[in-house]
Chains A and B, each alone.
Chain A
Amino acid sequence: MRWIVNRREVEREVDVRTSLLDLLREHLHLFGAKKGCNQGACGACTVLVDGERINSCLALAVQYQGREITTIEGLGAPGALHPLQQAFVEHDGFQCGYCTPGQICSAVGMAAELRNGVPSYVTTDLEAEMIALSHDELRERMSGNLCRCGAYKGIVDAIHETFSDLAAPIPKREAA
């Protein structure tokens, strides 16, 4: 089986029961995505597949062959942080840090959804071409990511600072 993980092609033979999360953590040793609930409730395992955020714990690795998977390790690295990682540091967007990789991958996916005009449950004008990242929109759109430390204020501030100007492209690190 083959996948493209953080811009590199990888090949592994794994049991078909292996989740995408377990492929990343146990077979590729990318420990950024976390196994919180392992049932899609907490969002700690969030990764991007072809730029869309998903819960990797509910995904079978076999089902995502050939797809482009981006984990927190593919967004930034020590010394070359993604702007949202930097903003999490500056705004105290975490205490224990367990939910952070999922929060950041989720927010990057959320920004892409906003740029594509995907509405949310709190979007009042469903026919709007552009949807601004208001406080309510941000909180609704990030509801799939829980933080048991309750660092939500810093998380919201960091995401808002990074993505409130939707005319700006979503920052991406250059391919390695």
Chain B
Amino acid sequence: MNPFQYDRASDVSAALMARTRAGAQYLGGGTNLIDLMRETIEHPDVLVDVTGLSRDIEETNGGGLKIGAGVKNTAVAADRRVRERFPLLAQAILAGASAQIRNMATVGGNLMQRTRCIYFYDDAASCNKRNPGDGCDARDGFNRNHAVLGASESCAATHPSDMCVALAALDAVVTVRGKNGSRDIPLPAFHRLPGDTPHIDTVLESGELITAVTLPPNGIAARSCYRKVRDRASYAFALVSVAAGLEMEGGMIRDVRIALGGVAHKPWRAERAEAALRGGPATEAAFRQAAEAELAAAQPLRDNAFKIELAKRVIADTFAKLAQAQGAAQ
């Protein structure tokens, strides 16, 4: 690990100021950044500790919630309002990492975590994300965990977060502060597809600090769930995950939300599948067709073609269960 200076920010303005120093980076819970520094993938000259900032969960008009970027992952999942109004988000957070890591990790840090692609982590391998223009050893390497949607010749890495997949389905908004004030970014637009610049993970501009994530009031959120498929029952990254919300009227679908994890460089809001379902019948055939529509553009690499069929089945099965639960409730 390279030497660095440590600076604990007392407020957002102080953090923004400290971040203007050469080689400065923000530090949250450190569960990803400290590891990357130890692996010499990240080498900041200054760490600006922002864990003391933005630590509240506040009510917004109409039953939404504004979650401070410094709130720990466990605290979000345990918050009674989150569990009642946005169960999808609590489930997604609890599906990620281990209890120890969730106790350390912040909401802002979860948004900013980097891919766990083994070639990104291996500084003897070629990686365009770590070293732009270097090439990508994943494309012809072991790519079972890699992206099937939205990947490029430059990069097939996946975004590792579970929480962000739920946030994408919930129309969450990320509030950031920079030298020119605050701005709001819809979660699905916060992370980027790799294109030919995979070293840039998000649309954040230099020095901008995440201060909050806002969940708009949303009736569909109460009828939602998060389903994660992985190589072992707990403490593993997703092969495929689905954040799903369904609102029915009679046998018809009034509203629907779908986001996918483990399949792309960013949390993947499945707009094609949503459009295929909205206003139509809530049948297993319709769910399967919608999944087919979303995955039609999928492009497998050598080892990850299984994810395409897996994603279709997990989407169809998750919605069948949501529809069944609402059918039973009606």
Contact = CB atoms under 8 A, between A and B. Distances in A.
The answer to whether A and B assemble together is yes
Interface of A: 15-17, 19, 38-40, 43, 46, 52-55, 58-60, 62-63, 106, 109-110, 113, 116-121, 123, 126-127, 139-141, 143-145
A170 B276 CA distance: 52
Interface stretch (B76-84, B139-147, B184-192): B76-84
Contacts of B228: 121
A15 B100 CA distance: 24
B85 to A, nearest CB: 10
Interface of B: 1, 3-6, 8, 27, 29-31, 34-35, 38, 47, 49, 51, 74, 77-78, 80, 83-84, 87, 90-91, 94-95, 97-101, 103-104, 228, 233-235
Contacts of B97: 144
A167 B178 CA distance: 48
B34 A113 contact: no
A16 B83 contact: no
5 contacts: A16-B4, A16-B47, A53-B99, A109-B103, A127-B80
A141 B102 CA distance: 11
B224 to A, nearest CB: 11
A141 B99 contact: yes
Interface centre among A38, A118, A126, A145 (most CB of B within 10 A): A126
B83 A127 contact: yes
A53 B30 CA distance: 15
Contacts of A58: 29-31, 34-35, 101, 104
A60 B30 contact: yes
Contacts of B35: 39-40, 58
A144 B6 contact: no
Contact of B99 (A15, A113, A139): A113
B234 A59 contact: no
A55 B94 contact: no
Contact of A55 (B27, B31, B51, B74): B31
B77 A119 contact: yes
Interface centre among B4, B30, B34, B78 (most CB of A within 10 A): B34
Nearest to A52: B103
A109 B77 CA distance: 16
Nearest to B84: A127
B299 to A, nearest CB: 31
Given A63-B49, A140-B234, A40 B101 contact: yes
A145 B234 CA distance: 11
Contact of B91 (A59, A63, A126): A126
Contacts of B29: 58
Among all A-B residue pairs, the 3 with the closest Cβ atoms: A144-B98, A143-B234, A121-B94
A144 B99 contact: yes
A59 B234 CA distance: 22
B99 A106 contact: yes
Contacts of B3: 15-17
Contacts of A19: 34
A43 B98 contact: yes
A2 B99 CA distance: 26
Contacts of A119: 77-78, 83, 90, 94
B104 A55 contact: yes
Contacts of A38: 38
Contact of A60 (B34, B78, B233, B235): B34
A116 B27 contact: no
A25 B8 CA distance: 25
B173 to A, nearest CB: 23
A117 B79 CA distance: 10
Contacts of A106: 99-100
Contacts of B99: 53, 106, 109-110, 113, 120, 141, 143-144
B273 to A, nearest CB: 24
Contacts of B30: 58-60, 63
Given A118-B74, A121-B234, 8 more contacts: A58-B34, A58-B101, A63-B51, A113-B99, A119-B83, A121-B94, A123-B94, A140-B233
B222 to A, nearest CB: 11
A141 B90 CA distance: 15
B78 A117 contact: yes
Contacts of A55: 31, 98, 100-101, 104
Contacts of A60: 6, 27, 30, 34, 47
Nearest to A39: B35
Nearest to A19: B34
